[in-house]
Amino acid sequence: MAVCHSPPAAPPADGVRVVALVGHPNVGKSALFQRLTGRYVTVSNYPGTTIELSRGQARALPGVTILDTPGVATLPARSDDECVTSRVLLDAPLHAAVLVGDAKSPRRTLSLALRLAELGLPLVLVCNMADEAAARGVQLDHDRLAEALQVPVISTVATSGAGVAEVTAALAQAAPSPYVLRYPPDVEEILAQIAPLLAGASVAPRGLALLWLGGDPAARAWVAGHLPAAAQERLASIDAQLAGGRGAIVEQIERTRADAVERLAAQVVRSRGAPASGLGARISRLATHPVWGLPVFALVLLALYWFVGVFGAGTLVELLEEGLFGQIINPWVTELVRASVPLPLLADFLVGEYGLWTMGMTYALALLLPIVFTFFIAFGVLEDSGYLPRLAVLSNRAFRRLGLNGQAVLPMVLGLGCVTMATLTTRILERPRDRLLVTLLLALAVPCSAQLGVVLGMLASVSFAAMLIWAGVLALVLFTVGWLAARLLPGERVPLLVELPPLRLPRASNVLVKTLARLEWYIAEAVPLFLLGTAMLFVLDATGALPSLIRLGEPVVVGWLGLPADASAAFLIGFLRRDFGATGLFAMQSAGALSPRQVVVALVTLTLFVPCIASAAMIAKERGWRTAAGVVGLVFPLALLVGGLVNAALYLVGWNG
């Protein structure tokens, strides 16, 4: 677990008080963070949205920094993202921890509350989603709970801001809970041996000892990094003495905790409430139904295709590219530049065939922006609806063949948004092997939104059959490579266990804010690369190197893939960003230079093509340079191989539109 052993993030400066938001996945920590700090972080309706720490200044509390942590399903931590959270609890001396719980599931919240109370951190207990709990009739006796744990208990609805002011007020006077849970004698005996060794910790030694016993990687790393050698040896010998008996000890600890939670719940939970009913619950059943789940999925895909492919890549692009840019802006800019720039070469550089404005900016703003915009909206709606975890249930069987579980569908689907971000999300997977496999498949066969939009637009103008062929080939490659890779990377498969959040109607404000944030990020990242790629092409063209490069690629591009020689240029810029390359193909298709078969072959090849620079860098950051080089080295020839095979197959069956 690399995340646990890397050195801690910059320690807080003197006088800065740090408050961490901690809780189970998908309980609204990020929404609360946004309310407390006013800083934007992505909020979605599925577990695992937050994988790295976000920090921001509390608006109402000067000098207080708020940390948003990844959700913990279990503490002691087990996965990488949980580890990030347990490290926060141990490493930085926290001013307070805010336990964000789901008001609908008080027992789960209580269980985590006990664990945090044991760490001796000043604690504020927040029962979020109080509106949903009230709608289901769940009632909790706050006064009794506050009395039992001696910590403030507050109800909030983070999405609307209700109760947030009370959280701020409570933070000012948070104190450690005096609650102590007594364990069976043999556990207490071991704790009495370990706790004194951990006296230097910023948390209660007893709590840290319990985490260490539970095998929490962050607690183990803390011991390795902070304790003198003698104490470490002592701990190692205790560990060796326990050996196989540790499981039984952990089991006793957990049983004691479960009993305590049950006792506490019997006191404070006044009504369990009734299960949710109504449209949401019914759609939820349909979405995970073994038979009806597929039509629901098809419906979702169709809606996505219509909104992004037909409306975004069709209607909007036509309006912008042919209308606004083609007829109004570009002629005007061209005229202006030609009139005011004396050097023809410089004018060409700006508005020529490979001009910064006429190619780079027009591609980025007129062709890609509307597509990316519609995709981000559709994707935001999908994320907030809570449909994605249900897709994990539906696709579990397919991923089983790859030695993965349905949870892998999340990074894959997120990859449709941005492969770079999705590579980071692979952290929610538990095993390094799973993370590596999904990273490879992401880099290979999952097109990102920008590319997908262009591809959908191009295929939509050919025929639905073209779309099916493209999707079918990709799925085939995905599963063949996945299957082969799973054989080469043996390992125990982790069976699926995923939380299904309630289906919710997405809030327009959240979708809009999320879309704008992503759009800004897209422009900042893509436009410079588009300009760089254009400049590269211009230089190659001006020096006369482009024709010879195109000739160099001819045997492969023309002979093997059956494409026009000009397509080499599109593949060349595809090295920078695949969507840039796709846009080049889009322009060729618009000019009538590609037959339907060539469109399909070109798109299959480009979709499988090398990952963009940003995602290659992300792979290197998350998995190391060697892996990144391996992935690129594997993907590039494979893309050309598959493209050629598709070309040959389509030629043999005589398909051409």
Partner 1 sequence: MITLRWSCPLCGHAFDPAAHSGCASCPLSRGCRIVCCPNCGHSSVDPSSSRLARWALGALDWVARSRPAPDRAAAASGPLPLSRGPRGRVRVVAVQDGRCDARERLRGYGIVAGVTLEVLQHRPAVVVRVEHTELALEDEVAAAVLVEARGSEV
Contact set with partner 1 (CB under 8 A) = 24, 72-74, 78, 102, 104-108, 111, 132-133, 136, 138, 254-255, 258, 262, 272-273, 275-276, 284-285, 288-290, 293, 389-390, 392-394, 396-397, 405-406, 430, 492-502
Q: Residue 386's CB: how many other CB atoms inside 10 A?
A: 22
Nearer to partner 1, 78 or 518 (CB): 78
Sort residue 592 into left (φ over 0), alpha (ψ -120 to 50) or beta: left
Sort residue 403 into left (φ over 0), alpha (ψ -120 to 50) or beta: left
Nearer to partner 1, 165 or 294 (CB): 294
* Total number of residues shown for the chain: 657
Question: What's the min distance (Å) between Cβ of 484 and partner 1?
Answer: 23
- H/E element, 441: helix 432-445
Question: What's the min distance (Å) between Cβ of 243 and partner 1?
Answer: 17
Angle made by CA atoms 53, 55, 58, in degrees to the nearest 5: 145
Nearer to partner 1, 72 or 422 (CB): 72
Nearer to partner 1, 272 or 507 (CB): 272
Question: What's the min distance (Å) between Cβ of 260 and partner 1?
Answer: 12
Question: What's the min distance (Å) between Cβ of 252 and partner 1?
Answer: 13
* DSSP code for 427: G
Nearest-angstrom CA–CA distance, 553 and 570: 11
**Alpha helices of 364-426 — where are they, by DSSP H?**
369-385, 388-400, 409-415, 419-425
Question: What's the min distance (Å) between Cβ of 112 and partner 1?
Answer: 9
**Of the candidates 128, 151, 124, the residue with the CA atom closest to the CA atom of residue 138:** 128
Sort residue 624 into left (φ over 0), alpha (ψ -120 to 50) or beta: left
Nearest-angstrom CA–CA distance, 343 and 397: 63
Nearer to partner 1, 378 or 394 (CB): 394
**Alpha helices of 94-154 — where are they, by DSSP H?**
106-118, 130-135, 142-149
What does residue 125 show for φ and ψ, rounded to 5 degrees?
-100, 120
Question: What's the min distance (Å) between Cβ of 209 and partner 1?
Answer: 18
- H/E element, 638: helix 625-653
Nearer to partner 1, 331 or 495 (CB): 495
User: Under a CB-based contact definition with an 8 Å cutoff, are residues 417 and 381 in contact?
Assistant: no
Question: What's the min distance (Å) between Cβ of 494 and partner 1?
Answer: 5
Nearer to partner 1, 368 or 498 (CB): 498
User: Under a CB-based contact definition with an 8 Å cutoff, are residues 632 and 579 in contact?
Assistant: no
Nearer to partner 1, 60 or 135 (CB): 135
Nearest-angstrom CA–CA distance, 365 and 356: 12
Question: What's the min distance (Å) between Cβ of 136 and partner 1?
Answer: 6
Nearer to partner 1, 185 or 290 (CB): 290
Question: What's the min distance (Å) between Cβ of 474 and partner 1?
Answer: 23
